[in-house]
Chains A and B, each alone.
Chain A
Amino acid sequence: MRLALILVLSLLGCSGSIDEPVGATGRSPLLVKTPRPFGYVIGDEIPQRIIIETRSGISLQTGSLPAKGQISRWLNLNQVTVKQTGRRYQIDLLYQVFYAPLEVKPLTLPGFTVQLSQGEKSISQNVPAWTFTLSPLRELVVRQTEQGEYMRPDSPPSLLANTQALYGLVASLTVAALIAAYLGYLYGCFPNMLRRTLFKRALRKLAGLSKADMEQALTIVHHALNSLNGQPLFSNQLSEFYRRNPQYLQVSSQLDCFFNYSNRYFFSDGMIAVAQDLQQLRDLCEQCRKIERGSQ
């Protein structure tokens, strides 16, 4: 390492701009971090982290890093990641060993040279080789089975996961149920929403009546209005009714007509109901139904 630094220094000696070690902090500019050097088996991945501290203006030549892929017959480089934070480079290499030793065997991750450059000048930093030991998984004289050599069995196919479909099922069912419930509420299908289905029921009853049943028809509408009001509703209480149910103001003229007509029908003699009157009654009910449903 010292040699490398001296080399770097001598390389840079002629330059006025790079006349101090690469590391500005004074300590070694290159730090190699590796995990334990023992206890690996075939197929294991070994991470290696190289940290380089540079001075400003010096950049790493990523082309000088080892290339991803097969390095030797028994060694693969699976991943190369370079992360730069300010003047600090962090190079993460992930090796994988494919060697089958007969006994605990020392092996070496090859060293390489990292190139750093400032402008047209370049500096080299050596990453040293790293030795570790690889252990075998099998005994030297292997046990035999009926089929011959003992080997691990096939991996059985796993069952397909149904969680996603299950979530989809539950979610769509919940959404459908919520929407259906809301629609049911709007259309007054719930017994506990009776107050909001007064005119619906009134309309249903009116549908079966003819002009001869005018008295019954008027009673039905009166009954619906009374239920809505909570007490019998007369024409002189209409303003109080509107105050509590302001949404019915929009049918105020029709309600006035209704009360007048009802007065005349019940308290004057000689009133003859015509089909149009019943139709008007139905129209009023229809309007009120829309109001109670909230769609008007």
Chain B
Amino acid sequence: MTLWAALAISLAAFVYSAGALYGIHRDNELIKQLTSGKDVAVNKIISGEPELRLARAFYFKQKHRYDEALSTLSLIMDKGDQKFQAKARYNLGNLYLEQAVQQVKAMNMNEALPLAGLAKQAYRQALALDSGNWDAKYNFEVAMRLLPEMDRVDMPDDEPNNQKSQLWTTVPGFPRGLP
């Protein structure tokens, strides 16, 4: 009798894991579809894994639909493991940075400043979670150049004329070379 029960349980486990495997396969197909630039109905990802939402935000960002990407990303900020959270924050940083760069290009400094600040915050969090993320390091530096930190670190042996340049450190933009 116990053997029959064990058989029933293991068959149930088999059916369950077959279902789980099928679900993962279906989700992966959706992720592939989204990353290749094709939209997926929202009801398919509502109950799914956070990776699906990350994929959807990735898709929105590719299509420059920033507001939708932002609202999708904000839903998964505290989901998943550390690696996943770092990735979500890195993509969030990219989302802000891309908009900040566009605003700088259009000379809308008032719009660009807070966006660059948010991007820096997101990259900082991403790097705190995963210090080996080189892309986050690089883009963090892009954001830092766009909006340098207020308080420069002055070493005793720094040139004294640093005082002068400090006036300009908070003006966003990239150095374009010598005049």
Contact = CB atoms under 8 A, between A and B. Distances in A.
B46 interface: no
Contacts of A242: none
B140 A43 contact: yes
B153 A105 contact: yes
Contacts of A3: none
A45 B131 contact: yes
Contacts of B124: 98
Main secondary structure of the interface of B (DSSP, over half): helix
A253 B171 CA distance: 108
A73 B151 CA distance: 8
A157 B31 contact: yes
Contacts of A120: none
B10 A162 contact: no
A156 B17 CA distance: 27
Main secondary structure of the interface of A (DSSP, over half): loop
Given A136-B141, A141-B177, A182 B3 contact: yes
Contacts of B28: 159-160, 162
A100 B145 contact: yes
A141 B176 contact: yes
A54 interface: no
Interface in A164-184: 165-166, 168-169, 171-173, 175-176, 179-180, 182-183
A118 B176 CA distance: 61
Nearest to B127: A43
Contacts of A172: 10-11, 13-14, 16-17
Interface of B: 3-4, 6-7, 10-11, 13-14, 16-18, 20-21, 24-25, 27-28, 31-32, 34-35, 49, 51-52, 54-55, 58, 61-62, 87, 90-91, 94, 97-98, 101-102, 104-105, 123-124, 127-128, 131, 133-142, 144-146, 148-151, 153, 155, 157, 174-177
Given A165-B24, A175-B13, 9 more contacts: A43-B136, A43-B140, A100-B148, A137-B138, A141-B176, A157-B87, A160-B31, A171-B13, A176-B14
